[in-house]
Amino acid sequence: MILTEKSIAEIKEKAVHYPVKKSAILPALTVAYRQVGHVDEVIYKEISKIIDVPTLEIAEAATFYTMFPKKPRGKYLLQVCNNISCALRGSDSMIAHLENKLDIKLGETTEDNMFTLIGVECLGSCSTAPMIQVNLDYHENLDKKKVDSLIDELKAKKD
Amino acid sequence: MHYSPVITNAEIAAKDKDLHLFQYVEDPKQCEVETFVSRGGYKAWKAVLDGISKEDVIETVKKSGLRGRGGAGFPTGLKWSFVPKDSPKARYLVCNADESEPGTCKDRVIMERDPHAIIEGMAIASYAIDCHLMFIYIRGEFTHCIEKMETAMKEAYEKGHLGKNIYGSGYDLEMIVHTGGGAYICGEETALLNSIEGERGQSRMRPPFPAIEGLYACPTIVNNVESLAAVPHIINRGAEWYASIGTEKSKGSKLFSLSGHVNRPGNYEVPLGFNLKDMIYDPAYGGGMLDGKKLKGVIPGGASTPFLLPDMIDVALDYEALQEKDSMLGSGAIIVFNEDTCIVWVIKKLIHFFRHESCGKCTPCREGTGWLEQMINRIEAGQGQPGDLEKIEEVCGNILGRTICPLGDAAVMPIQSALRLYRDEWQYHIDHKECMVKSNFELK
Ligand SMILES: Cc1cc2nc3c(=O)[nH]c(=O)nc-3n(C[C@H](O)[C@H](O)[C@H](O)COP(=O)(O)O)c2cc1C
Ligand code: SF4
């Protein structure tokens, strides 16, 4: 099993509240994504056993939802909102800055597997633009200095 | 835990006897159930269970004039009254916290800073429709809101505001925090219901409407966070009080998310009918244009609403006045852009979004948004051809009003309005193969 005891327990705890089993698919995918960083066939099979829903139905739902990466990504998934409110506040230039700094293009992962840089649609941070979501965390009201120190901090983090 | 650094007008709201949604949002303690209760929280919920009939709750909300704050502005009390009284099925209440319309970031402020207000509103709405299991559907990226809502829910259970036999009334009410997977379309109520059911988030054909056949084929009411958060105040202070705020037809207060080229982007609670120009220029709100640049246009109600030109912004922020200007109040997301903004570039961003978020169920939306994106990208890249604008208009005409859900219309309306209001700039782009102004917005 890839899913830990803790994740399994969490999925089960969420699943019991729903009147219909299938409703636990999204909650289960969310728990799995938070633990593993992505979801795929192997995960679908494990979830299927836990919530007693056919693997196919889990895969069918999962492939619709873009928030769950379907392949492993870098340790830090940098999700830059590039919709209109952020773009008016310089998100295009922030992406260019990150591309330079990390020496990758949008959509790519650094060689050391630390960072994956992607552009995403509006994350509801419009009045605190521009922003980056790093894995689960929002970083808002960004400027060049904050972006630089954010990346440096992540690089320095040891875990 | 994460606490959004967004600017609010809580200080004004605390002093103004009519504003109620933002009264306490600058106090981190407001998230805690004790503080919430000490300020009158769960009082309305208790009063309702103590002996206000379901019919009276619905009647009060109807009389208050409250209209849905999720975008469509449908009268809330009227919607509740559509749930069939004699149905033997379970009923469900779903709070829509998907908040994905570009420009909109208001519901998250209530989730992060006053989560019990939402639970109380959901509970009263549940009672009104005789529901015993209610859901809040929060967009999956909002980890911080999810945590706040889950904590608040746990507290509400512990203190007996939720669960079995609440306050000894015999009424049972359970709650589920359900989280999404990053799809704008799941804000559309029927797609949202599919998403809770564990399906792909695609919209459903109507009829049947959710009030008749919604979640698990049972009568279901879907309401926006902000609509529900207003309900306890209406119960506490009465329909007349609520109806006295705002304008003749647009009652109550509303949250506006202000973003783009203003000095103070933020979330502001104002009575409906507040002037848009003041929202942008008043030092207590937008504080004027960033870097003193000239205003070029405003999107007043979220990415799917038509534009306003600078000479149109002396307008009341309410349902009717904006409609008179051929636009819409929508979700209350005001996006402001300055003279350095290329209109084709704005539309390129918007159509990319709608194409990406189309659920693919109906052909006009699925294919049409793709064609539009291709054509608009081409123009933006300086490869526009004579006749392109007419072609775009034709495709728009073939999407409008011909789709299963309103996303198709939402994609088209800003494009049609941009073509109408900024025609010269589009033509310039095609004739000169470049932007009239370059949108080079530097990261500060
Ligand atoms: C494409 C699309 C996206 C929507 N997104 C949201 C949303 O994020 N939040 C919301 O409350 N309503 C959203 N709505 C409106 C809902 O379908 C529904 O009308 C609303 O939740 C009803 O609540 P209200 O009457 O309280 O406004 C969306 C509608 C469409 C067509
Ligand atoms: S209009 Fe678009 S989003 Fe709505 S049902 Fe049709 S394809 Fe799906």
Q: Please state the three-class secondary structure of B21-52 as a single string.
A: CCCCCCCHHHHCHHHHHHCCCCHHHHHHHHHC
Does B1 have pLDDT greater than 70? no
Domain assignment present for B143: yes
Q: Distances from the Cα of B23 to the Cαs of A26, B124, B265, B334, in angstroms?
A: 34, 20, 19, 21
Q: Among partner residues A24, A97, A136, which is closest to B143 by beta-carbon distance?
A: A136
Q: Pocket residues for ligand 2 (CB within 6 Å)?
A: B 185, 202-203, 358-362, 365-366, 403-405, 407-408
User: Are A143 and B273 contacting, i.e. CB atoms less than 8 angstroms apart?
Assistant: no
**Residue B202, SS3 per DSSP:** coil
The answer on B123 and B145 residing in a single domain is yes
Same domain, A140 and A87: yes
Whether residue B198 lies inside any domain: the answer is: yes
Residue type, B219: P
The residue of B349, B351, B380 whose CB has the most chain A CBs within 10 angstroms, and thus the best one to mutate to test that interface, is: B349
Based on the structure, what is the number of domains in chain A?
Answer: 2
Same domain for B160 and B301, yes or no, is no
Looking at the fold, whether A82 and A152 belong to one and the same domain comes out as: yes
Say which residues have a Cβ less than 8 Å from residue B274's Cβ, sequence separation at least 6.
B256, B316, B317
Among B193, B214, B244, identify where a domain stops. Answer: B244
A145 and A114 share one domain: yes
Nearest Cα to B32, choosing from B115, B142, B132? B115
What's the B190 CA to ligand 1 centre distance in angstroms?
10
Check which CATH number belongs to the domain holding B266 and give it.
Answer: 3.10.20.600
Q: Which of B338, B353, B373 is the last residue of a domain?
A: B338
- For residues B265 and B231, membership in a common domain is answered with no
Counting ligands in written order, which one lies closest to the CA of residue B204?
2
List the domain range (segments joined by +) for residue A120.
Answer: 76-156
User: Is residue A114 located within the same domain as residue A137?
Assistant: yes
CA distances, A1 to each of A4, A16, A105, B428 (Å): 7, 21, 34, 60
For residue A159, what pLDDT band results from cuts at 50, 70 and 90? low
User: ω before A130 within 30° of 0 (cis)?
Assistant: yes
> Is residue A71 in some structural domain?
no
Domain end point (choices B210, B244, B278)? B244
| Cβ–Cβ below 8 Å for B180 and A17 | no
pLDDT for residue B2 = 60
Question: Mean pLDDT throughout A43-61?
Answer: 98
**In this predicted structure, what is the pLDDT of residue A113?**
95
Summarize pLDDT for B172-185 with one digit per residue, the tens.
Answer: 999 999 999 999 99
Tell me how many degrees the CA angle B103-B109-B112 measures, rounded to the nearest 5: 135
Q: Are residues B417 and B290 in the same domain?
A: no
pLDDT single digits (tens) A64-123: 999 999 999 999 999 999 999 999 999 999 999 999 999 999 999 999 999 999 999 999
User: Is there a single domain that holds both residue B333 and residue B347?
Assistant: no
CATH code: domain of residue A111:
3.40.30.10
Q: Is B154 found in the same domain as B238? A: yes
Which residue out of B189, B193, B305 has the highest number of ligand 1 atoms within 8 Å of its CB and is therefore the one to mutate?
B189
- 297-356 in chain B: CB under 8 A from chain A: 299, 303, 333, 335, 337, 341, 346, 349-350, 353, 356
- Measured CA to CA, the distance from residue B317 to residue B272 in angstroms comes to 6
Q: How many domains does the structure of chain B reveal? A: 3
pLDDT above 70 (res A43): yes
**Do residue A60 and residue A81 come from a single domain?**
no
Q: Check residues B355 and B1 and name the one with the higher pLDDT.
A: B355
Residue B438: the pLDDT is 87
Q: Mean pLDDT throughout B96-105?
A: 97
The model's pLDDT over B152-173, given as tens digits with 9 standing for 90+, comes to 999 999 999 999 999 999 999 9
Task: Read off the DSSP letter of residue B265.
Answer: -
What is chain B's mean pLDDT, rounded?
A: 96
Asked whether A65 and B183 are in contact (CB, 8 A), the reply is yes
- Whether complex ipTM tops 0.85: yes
Q: Is residue A69 part of a domain?
A: no
Assess whether B133 and B207 both reside in one domain: yes
* Residue B73 and residue B203 share a domain: yes
CATH of the domain at B392: 1.20.1440.230
Phi, psi of B224 (to 5 degrees): -70, 155
Range of the domain at B26: 10-244
Residues A54 and A89 in one domain: no
Residue B68: predicted pLDDT: 97
Does the CB atom of residue B70 touch ligand 1 within 6 A? yes
Mean pLDDT computed over B250-261: 98
What pLDDT was estimated at residue B4?
79
Contact A97, A136 (CB under 8 A): no
A23 in any annotated domain: yes
CB B380 within 8 Å of CB B345? yes
Same domain, A152 and A87: yes
Q: Are residues B44 and B144 part of one domain?
A: yes
Residue among B204, B205, B231, B26 nearest B120 (CA): B231
Taking one residue from A and the other from B, the number of pairs with CB-CB distance under 8 angstroms is: 177
Q: What is the mean pLDDT of residues B109-123?
A: 98
Find the helix or strand (DSSP H, E) in which B254 lies: strand B253-260
The model scores a pTM over 0.95: yes
Ligand nearest to the CA of residue B355, numbered in listed order: 2
Residue A142 and residue A120 share a domain: yes
Same domain, A93 and A139: yes
Average pLDDT score over residue span A10-23: 98
- Do residue A60 and residue A105 come from a single domain? no
Q: Indicate whether A93 and A132 sit together in one domain.
A: yes
Q: What is the largest CA-CA distance in chain B?
A: 74
